[in-house]
Amino acid sequence: MISEKELKNLISQVLQGMSEDKPEIKEVEEKIEKIIINSDLVKDVKDITEIDLREVIEVKNPVNREEYLKYKRKTPARIGISRAGTRYTTNTMLRFRADHASAQDAVFTDVSSEFLEKNNLFTIQTKCQSKDEYITRPDLGRRLSEDGIKTLKEKCKMNPTVEVFVADGLSSTAIEANIEDILPALLNGLKSYGIDCGTPFFLKYGRVAAADEVSEVLGATVTCVLIGERPGLATAESMSAYITYNAYVGMPEAKRTVVSNIHEKGTPAPEAGAHVAHIIKKVLEAKASGQDLKL
């Protein structure tokens, strides 16, 4: 366990580095992290988010516990929590804050380059230059950068029947949790139907409507973007598939077909991949998507 003297020395170094704007700050932070990770404090800490809230009732002495659980298992909503007077109990509050932190991490972290390389996805970017700009300027997240357009033309198959690509959206966590299972299932499903597919890639800082410009640039008949959903307190790993027939920049949102809640506790990724492939087949047959498609 870290001693009080060691901790004081480290904090002193950090404060000194901050006041003088020295590059040693990062080195000191790494030392602190290393000491904390190796300390006995961390060894006994359990990940509170590993507990499935649908199997937990915190209400003291419920009249009918099994009936309560039956309803809890039907929803990820926070029901059956407990209070101490007007306040939440400690466990309820800790779980709330842990889930909130997971949601924030999902939004503000980036999909790792190692993950993208492992899944053979090259990267292009929208007109957003940072995560902050992505969040505050949705319009820029709907348009591709000039370099991105150039890269697509160089690396992607032109005029495919279906173009499938991945975008981080509002949850990088969702991408890393699902793409390894959904993308192969989706591409194999399309192949089994004899449908011609383009070259998959990853779009950084991408919004759903960026698929419209992708469609115009590559000449795709159908575009399908696998994108991270806005995370909530139930899960930070949920993603969606937005499918559009003959997309064009500025098209109405009602023209899109969407499969949402793709995650472990919703529609599992492998199953979702097969389902999305089937829907794309229907879109091609009907030559329509969104409200114009009758499934």
Are residues 126 and 39 both part of a single domain? no
Are residues 244 and 286 both part of a single domain? yes
Residue 52, pLDDT > 90, answer no
**C-alpha dihedral sign at 281, 179, 257, 146:** negative
Q: For 42-51, 86-95, 213-222, 255-264, which range has the lowest pLDDT when averaged over its residues? A: 42-51
How far is Cα 83 from Cα 79, in angstroms, rounded to an integer? 12
What does the DSSP assignment read for 190-248? HHHTT--B----EEET--TTHHHHHHHHHT-SEEEEEEEPPP-SS-S--EEEEEEES--
Residue 107 DSSP label: H
Are residues 56 and 159 both part of a single domain? no
How far is Cα 76 from Cα 135, in angstroms, rounded to an integer? 26
pLDDT of residue 53: 78
pTM above 0.85, yes or no: no
How far is Cα 181 from Cα 241, in angstroms, rounded to an integer? 14
Residue 29, pLDDT > 90, answer no
Confidence bin at 135 (pLDDT 50/70/90): very high
Say what angle helices 146-155 and 210-218 make with each other, to 10 degrees. 50
CATH number of the domain where residue 286 is located:
3.40.50.11240
Q: What single-letter amino acid sits at 18?
A: M
Are residues 283 and 229 both part of a single domain? yes
Question: 203-257: per-residue pLDDT in tens?
Answer: 999 999 999 999 999 999 999 999 999 888 778 889 999 999 999 999 999 999 9
Question: 190-207: per-residue pLDDT in tens?
Answer: 999 999 999 999 999 999
Question: 73-89: per-residue pLDDT in tens?
Answer: 887 788 878 888 888 88
Give the DSSP H/E element, type plus range, for residue 5.
helix 4-20
Burial category of 43 from C-beta neighbours within 10 Å (exposed 0-12, middle 13-18, buried 19 and up) = exposed
Are residues 280 and 199 both part of a single domain? yes
Structural domain span for residue 19:
4-43
pLDDT of residue 37: 59
Total count of domains within the chain: 3
Question: Of the candidates 221, 103, 124, 105, which has an alpha carbon nearest to the alpha carbon of residue 167?
Answer: 124
Are residues 19 and 74 both part of a single domain? no
Query: Are the CB atoms for 79 and 71 separated by under 8 Å?
Result: yes
Phi-psi region of 164 (alpha: psi -120 to 50; beta: other; left: phi over 0): beta
User: Nearest 5°: CA angle at 238, between 232 and 239?
Assistant: 130
Say what angle helices 269-286 and 172-192 make with each other, to 10 degrees. 50
Beta-carbon contacts of 96 under 8 Å, excluding residues fewer than 6 positions away, are: 78, 88, 233
CATH number of the domain where residue 59 is located:
1.10.30.40
